Structure 1
């Protein structure tokens, strides 16, 4: 007998008619099962009617199983539930005996949820399932795979992306997975370096560019993974090689876009995603259960690892969806219960505030309470807090009196001020959106800037970006410059700061050091340029090496600062005009310069700030280079204290992102230089 579409397929019918029933039905396995069945039927709608007779029989049996329904409904969003059910039915038809194994059931659910996404080829799902089933049975996957839940397996079975499933040289198909499984066996943490098994080559041996159609054309007979390893590629090919190698062996991994670059990440252990071949904090994830930023990856990992809270949260969301049209008051209580169950569930927040905004239309005081709740509950994840907060920005500010609007925005900053956040993000874009929401009155925007700056003045993460945004917003506007610098002075000048210049110096110094500590290149550059009127350039000239000044636009960080250090001069250390830094007295002091661009270095010029009596402080001077800032190669050493020191490196330093200068002995002494200029060819 076929399943009637109004039935719950063996699950008990739950009636949500009161606040008490909201809690009682979501907190038991039986109640959640019934709610999941109801939600699945709501989400698929009339599409269930279009299923074949055999598929409907499968769905009838599926809905009777708590485990199998939970695999499908509690493992992250499903973009097209009807498509997912069709795929799941096809998998069970193809392997009815194998899918008695609980391990294979979770793999099948992960495949169905993954291939249910738009543009993923439904007919390739069985092959992907069979690859992981057969590899697991043969003991060819990493042991970690057997411990993965369905949601975690989605980061494994998505190997190859949605466009390269054809085999024999046409893309990252199952033939590539098998080749990588058999040829790239590494400890989990070493998959972050698997990309370097393939050579970085812009042109193949025939001179064809990777950006053209003929780069791999002479090698179409080869499996794609094998030809990438033998022929090479650039960042995209290498990152897909590394990520797919991990996934082919049963280890969660993703690829991700960065500005002008493709990188990847490997999940080394539960909660520990490790970026690989990454050149920027600005990452757009190619695979994610929700959101596309690195913050969202961190948040969803935390949410899913608290599976009990996640399951209850989702059950309350299902209640709210079924109630919001017929009983919006009760739906509001269900949404509140979802957020109480798991306060860090970002999609739950987004759905809840959208409902409040569009249906409940809160009064002004209620908007203030909602905004504070969002900021407080999500304060550990400032980017996610802003993502949700921004959804209510327009209606909340429209409802609030004008004199309450800045205070409303400041609740967000007060909540995150003591939180460093899991990662860097585009905080300046959030400030810009908040400023624009206040209207075109520049005096109101400057007032907002000063208030935010005062709140964030002690923050290690948000202080420097706030000043950098203010410099960009107001510092370049002649009509606002004086007011901007005055605001800086009021916030940061101490009792003895003196004139406005001293106040600015007092503000910029710690801000620049904060940008260096945070590794924020954009803030460092903006602050460095803002201090041009305070900077004391070094007039010493030195013959450059061929190529671009790769250090320009980068960032430097000394091992310490001191009373003789003037951070406003740091920016010039990497530029032709020169600058200075001065560490405290310490053993093995150093300075690390992050180049503006990854480069093939032709040479380095190092300038001293004192070649006389104090020149001995720098000796013995050691210069090292690195691509990742972790593994260093020494390229120069001297005890001759008369500079400048020119270090030719043509052909010897083909991939450099970092340069380190240090005194290589055990004396407790100061260290200071005036310039580290790096020349060569940009690789990005």
Structure 2
């Protein structure tokens, strides 16, 4: 562990947690209150006759609906709403399963009676996100928690905590791991730990306001329960800095005795310690262990977090407020280990945050969902459709609700292509900022109308969808290719395909941070250029370039200045998208804009003997670009002729070289561009084998014009980062980053 690492770890252990900006919103409105059940229903509950209870409640709800046609008015009635909650709970759990829990012990029976008399708690449970995926297990966990603490006077305060724990232990991606490790991960013990920490004022103040779906991201991780207590005591820092908590443990692949982390002996000498967190803090680990450590450190202080998988790497994310997650160790993007509506971050957590954004609306939406399911059970599908539509008025993006509505619409007779088109257009209007969710939920609906409308209207529909996607925050981790492949399957002629390509490139060139544009270019290279249709690609790109200045395409030859600007933006977009094939193709196509003579060398320093230049078949990724940048010359940074790049002003601007293949690194020659060379003084070079975990290779406080960096024997690298360390924001511009292997 180096000195800077020790300083960081010390600061993490010493800094107190502080509230800062809250990451939740207060409850919008008081939930429904309990109403006394009719004596016949209460008797059925007491006797464990849940099948009979379900039948009686269904008949009572049906009768109420026949007497009062205005369902909205019914949902405002506490008695009706209470019965509807019980009906939905029995539907998702099953009367037989409820009876099995009830019959397990007198204490379980007492819980079931108390739970069915508590609509507030039932609605927290039914709206926890993934219920009814495995409701019987969730109800049993709630019963176990209630048996341990239900009689305490403050239990109502912790109903959301109990419900969130029941949800994460019974449903979702962590449920199986938590069950398999029940000796160390017990839901009752986990509940007691968090209640105790809250009562001792050791959690973030916003913790107690979290809803069950949010509690999933505080209590849901498969490490042992006691690690929460250890982390709460030993890893304390300002709450927004829990993205750094992973570095409180050392990064290492072997323990003090030389046992590797891939083997069974890595943690054996410490197996009797305070749990996995303390083990990791003592001996360290690689990205997986450190990311879980960072995740759990945040959670141990009542802050939602999740680990995230990336290619060859594990990172994590910490939630700083509703809708905003910050990355730790290379997060927050990638495959979420804990999730509700899909695992692809950031689009999945953005959808989740949008669905649950308003407490009052989501509660009402779940009531309408319960009504819709009742309507369908009673055989009234038209009324069920209306109820699902009412649910979606409250939360238009809820994927489970929209899936149910679309299922009923698909079963309905008489829906014509124009009806589906109108429905799809209306649905799409709600998805600004969640375009990938729109594509996923509407891709089956498209099949009902796309081939029955004119080709021009198909392209127009795709344009509308891409404008929605372009306005959606995204990253390299969100895969755009499935959208493009799916849509292009509806194109029947070369003219349509060319028009579609032009639409896609034009839309994403104008909107977004370049990630989608870069992935669209990668797809276009594979689909057109590599399949003998380079002319189609070139023509579409030229038209897009001509339009980039705001003018319509006139059919004339592209303006060279606009074409150059478009290629510059396109090449930088391929870097953001991390696409080597697209970077290579676009760089070759834009080579005429470069003044570099690739057959000559501008390196004055002799190359050390035995060093072999790595071919420029990878890519260069600059941290930022600006008006003085020349992206078409980025690739030449890897060639002796020299290239150029120009970042914007940053405190730590950097350039990352990604090689096509990993190499045994011999060293580097890094040179400055002529002019303003004093901007680059304090510089660092790091290497990585996974693109996320960086190891220092060299540093200097006064970088020379031509800097030779020799790598220690055995250095492996696929990524190399050259970074400026400035006291104040400054530009960075280099001429060479020549990579040599042995």
Bin the TM-score by the shorter chain: 0.7 to 0.9
Pairing partner for 2:568 from 491, 509, 530: 509
Which runs of structure 2 are paired with 1:203-218 in the superposition (5 Å)?
A: 203-218=254-269
Q: Deviations over 1:77-101 (max 9, x none)?
A: 2221122112212222222322642
Structure 1 42/525 Cα, relative in aligned 2: closer, same or farther at 3 Å?
same
Q: For residues 255 and 613 of structure 2, what CA distance do their matches in structure 1 show? A: 26
Q: Does 1:676 align with 2:727?
A: no
Find the counterpart in structure 2 of residue 484 from structure 1.
Answer: 537
Which runs of structure 2 are paired with 1:160-309 in the superposition (5 Å)?
A: 161=222, 172-222=223-273, 223-278=275-330, 281=333, 283-294=334-345, 295-309=347-361
Shift of 1:634: 9.4
Structure 1 630/98 Cα, relative in aligned 2: closer, same or farther at 3 Å?
farther
Find the counterpart in structure 1 of residue 151 from structure 2.
Answer: 97
Find the counterpart in structure 1 of residue 722 from structure 2.
Answer: 659
Structure 1 436/26 Cα, relative in aligned 2: closer, same or farther at 3 Å?
farther
- Does the aligned pair in 2 maintain the 1:512–1:567 contact within 8 Å? yes
Instruction: Please give the secondary structure, in 2, of the residue aligned with 1:51.
Output: helix
- Does the aligned pair in 2 maintain the 1:368–1:408 contact within 8 Å? no
- Does the aligned pair in 1 maintain the 2:362–2:395 contact within 8 Å? yes
Find the counterpart in structure 2 of residue 624 from structure 1.
Answer: 683
Shift of 1:233: 0.9
Q: Does 1:446 align with 2:512?
A: no
Q: For residues 410 and 32 of structure 1, what CA distance do their matches in structure 2 show? A: 43
- Does the aligned pair in 2 maintain the 1:468–1:526 contact within 8 Å? yes
Structure 1 136/354 Cα, relative in aligned 2: closer, same or farther at 3 Å?
same
Structure 1 506/666 Cα, relative in aligned 2: closer, same or farther at 3 Å?
closer
The aligned length equals 650
Q: Deviations over 1:153-189 (max 9, x none)?
A: 2211213x2xxxxxxxxxx212222222222222212
Find the counterpart in structure 2 of residue 62 from structure 1.
Answer: 115
Pairing partner for 1:593 from 643, 649, 655: 655
Pairing partner for 2:588 from 529, 532, 544: 532
Q: For residues 327 and 371 of structure 1, what CA distance do their matches in structure 2 show? A: 24
Find the counterpart in structure 1 of residue 443 from structure 2.
Answer: 390
- Does the aligned pair in 2 maintain the 1:620–1:665 contact within 8 Å? no
Find the counterpart in structure 1 of residue 578 from structure 2.
Answer: 521
Find the counterpart in structure 2 of residue 166 from structure 1.
Answer: none
> Root-mean-square deviation (CA), in Å?
4.0
Find the counterpart in structure 2 of residue 151 from structure 1.
Answer: 213
Q: Please, which runs of 5 or more residues in structure 2 have no aligned partner?
A: 1-42, 548-553, 687-691
Find the counterpart in structure 2 of residue 311 from structure 1.
Answer: 363
Q: Deviations over 1:118-164 (max 9, x none)?
A: 524278322222222333334443433223233222211213x2xxx
Pairing partner for 1:107 from 133, 149, 161: 161
- TM-score using structure 1 length: 0.83
Q: For residues 75 and 152 of structure 1, what CA distance do their matches in structure 2 show? A: 9
Q: For residues 298 and 114 of structure 1, what CA distance do their matches in structure 2 show? A: 20
- Does the aligned pair in 2 maintain the 1:344–1:377 contact within 8 Å? yes
Q: For residues 612 and 249 of structure 2, what CA distance do their matches in structure 1 show? A: 27
Q: For residues 455 and 481 of structure 2, what CA distance do their matches in structure 1 show? A: 23
Find the counterpart in structure 2 of residue 164 from structure 1.
Answer: none
Structure 1 226/444 Cα, relative in aligned 2: closer, same or farther at 3 Å?
same
Structure 1 270/489 Cα, relative in aligned 2: closer, same or farther at 3 Å?
closer
Find the counterpart in structure 2 of residue 353 from structure 1.
Answer: 406
Q: Deviations over 1:27-60 (max 9, x none)?
A: 5665544332221111122322333334344323
Structure 1 677/420 Cα, relative in aligned 2: closer, same or farther at 3 Å?
farther
Q: Please, which runs of 5 or more residues in structure 1 have no aligned partner?
A: 162-171, 610-614
Q: Deviations over 1:202-249 (max 9, x none)?
A: 122333221222222333333322221111111111111111122223
Q: For residues 548 and 128 of structure 1, what CA distance do their matches in structure 2 show? A: 56
